Amino acid sequence: MKTSYKYLMLAAAVGLAGCQQESDQPQSDEQTVVVEKKVETKKDNKETVKQVKRVDEHSYGNIDEVNLHHFDLELTVNFEAKALEGFVDLSFKRLTDDVSELVLDTRDITVEKAQQWVDGQWQDTSFELAEKDADLGSKLTVAVNDSTNKVRVYYKTQPQASGLQWLTPEQTAGKKHPFVYSQAQAIHARSFIPIQDSPAVRVTYTANLKTPKELLALMSAFNEPDTELDGDYHFEMPQAIPPYLIALGVGNLEFKAMSDRTGVYAEPSLLEPAIAEFDDTERMVQVTEEMYGPYRWGRYDLLILPPSFPYGGMENPRLSFITPTVIAGDKSLVNLIAHELAHSWSGNLVTNATWEDFWLNEGFTSYVENRIMEELFGEERATMERALSVQGLRDEVKALPKEFTILNVDLDGRDPDDAFSGVPYTKGQMFLTYLEKKFGREVFDAFLVEYFNAHAFQSLTTEEFKKYLKKNLLDKYPDVVSPDEIEIWIHEAMLPPTMPNPTSDAFTTIDAETKAWLAAEKSLADLDSGEWTVHEWLHFINNLPEDLSQKQMTQLDKAFELTDSSNNEIAHAWLLLALKTNYDAVMPRLETYLVSIGRRKLIVPLYKQLMETEDGAVFAKRVYKMARPGYHPLAQGTLDEIVK
């Protein structure tokens, strides 16, 4: 990525948010933002220029000149060509007088024609597609004359689109029909729609998707629960969302309701198991509403994706995308649903303005997720989940480049996907937990409700958040937390000494039992493991020493059948430990695991560990060759770098 500038958001006010807002969306009249632009041409050049504009270094979009606020999409889903084909009409408003072009983001998109709407008809206009940047894609510049406020772009996606995965029938659960789905976050919407692909932009949309007749199409929009299969689907999204939340999925999908407003879409064989696993969803929506105000998006449905989905979940509005790898049979991993649902407040309602503010999105969501879990499953489980996350974070920061341990991370010249880690999630969550402890839950809850209301349907920078926090919490309750402490949390590397350290009594008991076993004071049969929950097993495995002998590993496996665990998180933890201790009996299971799952969080650490030894690398290369065609382009990208 070639960026010669670094942009620092200063007193940015509200987003360039969409204009066609629903009645419950507070409208703001402040449309411009102040940005300080620091020119970094030379090290010693400290020149700063104040401008009235907001810039996102991960978008070519001229968002300081043009406010894209709505699009209408017409696409045919062509499985043979692995392409979306059609056009998009982009509606915009001018923020300045002398606008002569609309600048968009694209990646691997074939642009056929551009038109502008002038005097009641479409007129061809010129466009230029720049050379591709490895991280940002290709800038698309469309010429516009003074009187137009709508542009049409005819285009086709390419089979390698980073934001789409095209699955053959063999790669689906039912094996009979193809499947395609999108994953736009962070900057992949541009690989299937030419758009100003910045989270500072908010758009409403309509879409028509043409698909093979027997397949169902869904989008991050209103999905009619009893839609008839006819290969022609219409969608409306009347609430303004950032481009990274545009999503579609097409496959042999069936729907089943869980309540009036919640339900599951899945391939037929997965529908019942998914319903059984996730039937607390309605209660989750209710408890979140009680804590943080109304759910503002109408329906809340889940789309269960094939196991190659590279994430656990994705909070696409009205329709969270969910990995099937959390269907454990015992609801042990449903914090994922709490998490994606929580984004309906923290993230989808109040969005990060740039990817450097990503912690505002995931940190708040991890905090809300855990509050939902506490309401539904009690304090003990919520504490265990926090303790597991914090231990994971402490281990992870040891290996991370120091600059990636900062909440308000500097992404200058970097792909936002490269800075992905537990830091924005768990350090962010612990920052809010810290504030909650300092100010008390009642005060902090009231603050959060107000925060969500005040910024609903807007995008926010870290600096804006800090200003809001100071005015509405720190100054209101003086001498509780100093501004310096806030600076340390948000801008300093590593983990602050004031970070809460969640501890669970159950985990402390397990630590003592583990110690007794290692000291040969207790046998495995004597451990009180009969009633351990998945979280306790995870804590147990994660805290076993890495120098366990083959004999000890064999004993563990015999006693607890860990290699055969059907819980994907437990299997992951055990397989990782097995690689670290050279316990080869797991290798066949590891192979099946790596070939059947494409969720990055579960497979990347295993490949990395394999590459540490010569034999492991041989195994990794062989298995990766088999597994790669089934992985999502994003997982392929990550793993191509690791398995060389």
Nearest to 285 by CA among 277, 273, 293: 293
Q: Rounded distance, CA 527 to CA 504, Å?
A: 18
425 classed as catalytic: yes
- The site for Zn ion (CB under 5 A) is made up of 362, 365
Quick one: what does residue 424 bind among Zn ion, ligand BES, none, with the CB cut-off 5 to 8 Å set by partner type?
none
CB 201 within 8 A of CB 16: yes
Please say which residue, 334 or 490, places its beta carbon nearer to ligand BES: 334
CB 79 within 8 A of CB 163: no
Quick one: what does residue 621 bind among ligand BES, Zn ion, none, with the CB cut-off 5 to 8 Å set by partner type?
none
Binding residue count for ligand BES, defined by CB under 6 A: 16
Q: Which residue is nearest to ligand BES (CB)?
A: 312
Among positions 305-324, residues that touch ligand BES (CB under 6 A) are 311-315
Among positions 236-255, residues that touch ligand BES (CB under 6 A) are none
* Shortest distance, position 185 Cβ to Zn ion, whole Å: 9
Quick one: what does residue 431 bind among Zn ion, ligand BES, none, with the CB cut-off 5 to 8 Å set by partner type?
none
Interface map 506-545 toward ligand BES (x if CB under 6 A)? ----------------------------------------
Extended strands (E) in 83-159: 83-94, 101-106, 109-118, 121-125, 127-129, 138-143, 150-157
Sequence-distant (6+) residues with CB within 8 A of 222 are 235, 236, 237, 298, 299, 318
Per-residue H/E/C for 138-157:
EEEEEECCCCCCEEEEEEEE
Q: 65, 340, 436, 463: which is the annotated catalytic residue?
A: 340
Please say which residue, 338 or 570, places its beta carbon nearer to Zn ion: 338
Indicate which single residue of 12, 167, 186, 499 sits in contact with ligand BES (rule: CB under 6 A).
Answer: 186
Phi-psi region at 440: left, alpha or beta (left = phi > 0; alpha = psi -120 to 50): left
Q: 233, 300, 425, 624: which is the annotated catalytic residue?
A: 425
Sequence-distant (6+) residues with CB within 8 A of 543 are 510, 511, 514
Cα distances (angstroms) measured from residue 595 to each of 195, 575, 578: 35, 14, 18
| Burial class of 95 by CB neighbour count within 10 A (0 to 12, 13 to 18, 19+) | middle
The amino acid at residue 287 is V
Stated as kind and residue range, the H or E segment containing 300 is: strand 300-304
* Shortest distance, position 372 Cβ to ligand BES, whole Å: 11
* Shortest distance, position 361 Cβ to ligand BES, whole Å: 7
* Shortest distance, position 61 Cβ to Zn ion, whole Å: 24
Among positions 328-347, residues that touch ligand BES (CB under 6 A) are 335-336, 339-340, 343
Stated as kind and residue range, the H or E segment containing 439 is: helix 428-439
Does 393 contact ligand BES by CB under 6 A?
no
What tokens appear for 313 in the block? 């979940």
* Shortest distance, position 638 Cβ to ligand BES, whole Å: 12
What tokens appear for 137 in the block? 């894609």
Please say which residue, 251 or 312, places its beta carbon nearer to ligand BES: 312
Among positions 395-434, residues that touch ligand BES (CB under 6 A) are 420, 425
Please say which residue, 244 or 540, places its beta carbon nearer to Zn ion: 244
Please say which residue, 35 or 634, places its beta carbon nearer to Zn ion: 634
Please say which residue, 358 or 447, places its beta carbon nearer to ligand BES: 358
3-state secondary structure of 476: coil
Strands across the sheet containing 248-251: 164-167, 179-182, 248-251, 216-219
Interface map 354-373 toward ligand BES (x if CB under 6 A)? --------x-----------
Q: Rounded distance, CA 508 to CA 563, Å?
A: 25
Q: Rounded distance, CA 471 to CA 589, Å?
A: 55
CB 193 within 8 A of CB 242: no
Does 163 contact ligand BES by CB under 6 A?
no
Interface map 433-452 toward ligand BES (x if CB under 6 A)? --------------------
* Shortest distance, position 266 Cβ to ligand BES, whole Å: 18
Q: Is the dihedral of CA 560, 278, 254, 238 positive or negative?
A: negative
Please say which residue, 101 or 362, places its beta carbon nearer to Zn ion: 362
CB 357 within 8 A of CB 408: yes
Does 185 contact ligand BES by CB under 6 A?
yes
Does 296 contact ligand BES by CB under 6 A?
no
Cα distances (angstroms) measured from residue 179 to each of 79, 340, 456, 597: 8, 22, 34, 16
Quick one: what does residue 267 bind among Zn ion, ligand BES, none, with the CB cut-off 5 to 8 Å set by partner type?
none
Quick one: what does residue 311 bind among ligand BES, Zn ion, none, with the CB cut-off 5 to 8 Å set by partner type?
ligand BES
Please say which residue, 251 or 363, places its beta carbon nearer to Zn ion: 363
* Shortest distance, position 610 Cβ to ligand BES, whole Å: 21
What letter would DSSP give residue 135? T
Does 107 contact ligand BES by CB under 6 A?
no
* Shortest distance, position 312 Cβ to ligand BES, whole Å: 3
Please say which residue, 211 or 346, places its beta carbon nearer to Zn ion: 346
Helices 534-542/568-580 angle, 10° precision: 10
Quick one: what does residue 601 bind among Zn ion, ligand BES, none, with the CB cut-off 5 to 8 Å set by partner type?
ligand BES
* Shortest distance, position 340 Cβ to ligand BES, whole Å: 6
Binding site for ligand BES (CB under 6 A): 185-186, 311-315, 335-336, 339-340, 343, 362, 420, 425, 601
Residues with a known catalytic role? 340, 425
